[in-house]
Amino acid sequence: MRRVIVWRHGETEHNAGGIYQGQLDSHLSDRGRQQAAEAAAALAARRPTRIVASDLARAADTAQALADATGLVVEPDPRLREIHVGRWAGLPHTEVVAGWSDVIEAIDRGEDPRRGETGESVGDVQARVREVFDDLVGRMGEDETAVLATHGVASRTLVAGVIGLTYQQSWLALVGLHNCHWAELVEHRTGWRMESWNVGVTASVGSVTDR
């Protein structure tokens, strides 16, 4: 069976402070670097053969920790970037809730408005991250395990799309991945299935918020 592990990046100062990042190029915090090292040690034991990562620093640096542990080379792909949050980028969650309460309420109901007026919808994100998954699977051999290092919204919408969940189903049923936690997709004769969700090293639990 082929396997794809979808891995969220380690914690950043913006994660810890409740700041919307989107496609801002923030770096891992000290805690985030520790999380990445701990998670990389666990994932290296899975003997992955490929690592593909968002080119944003927080995901690329998380992926590099696994590359250092395995000797693999990280393949950067901008299609794995986090959702673009438009005018929300750099704002605290409290300010976004106060200024765009109708949009936040719609998101909480499982609707998919464009984020921050000038940003993306989750549907936009799903289209580009699914391209990465399909390209990767097309290059994988039998019994290979690959790792995709990405972000909160990107990871949830990718997994949902692969296993056939609608956006609303996934948003209302699945909590976001914790920092440096992952989901595992396994190929069966009838298609891809999710074997695990929100797996990680205990000490790595951090922000669960998708931003």
Please state the three-class secondary structure of 103-169 as a single string: HHHHHHCCCCCCCCCCCCCHHHHHHHHHHHHHHHHHHCCCCCEEEEEECHHHHHHHHHHHHCCCHHH
Task: Answer whether residue 80 is part of any domain.
Answer: yes
- Mean local confidence (pLDDT), 52-70: 98
> Residue 21 has what pLDDT?
96
Task: Answer whether residue 211 is part of any domain.
Answer: no
Task: Answer whether residue 95 is part of any domain.
Answer: no
Instruction: Please state, in angstroms and rounded to a whole number, the distance separating the CA atoms of residues 66 and 68.
Output: 5
Task: Answer whether residue 171 is part of any domain.
Answer: yes
For the chain, the domain total comes to 1
CATH number of the CATH domain containing 171: 3.40.50.1240
Task: Answer whether residue 110 is part of any domain.
Answer: no
Write out the two tokens for 136.
Answer: 């990767």
Instruction: Please state, in angstroms and rounded to a whole number, the distance separating the CA atoms of residues 151 and 72.
Output: 21
- At 175 the three-state DSSP class reads coil
113: which residues sit within 8 A by CB, 6+ positions away? 103, 106, 107, 121
Domain that holds residue 61: 3-84+121-204
Task: Answer whether residue 135 is part of any domain.
Answer: yes
pLDDT bracket for residue 207 (50, 70, 90): low
Above pLDDT 90, what percent of the chain? 93
pLDDT bracket for residue 211 (50, 70, 90): low
Q: Catalytic residues, which ones?
A: 9, 82
- Mean local confidence (pLDDT), 157-165: 96
Task: Answer whether residue 187 is part of any domain.
Answer: yes
Task: List, for residues 79-135, the tens digit of each pLDDT value.
Answer: 999 999 999 999 999 999 999 999 999 999 999 999 999 999 999 999 999 999 999
> Residue 132 has what pLDDT?
98
CB count within 10 Å of CB 78 equals 11
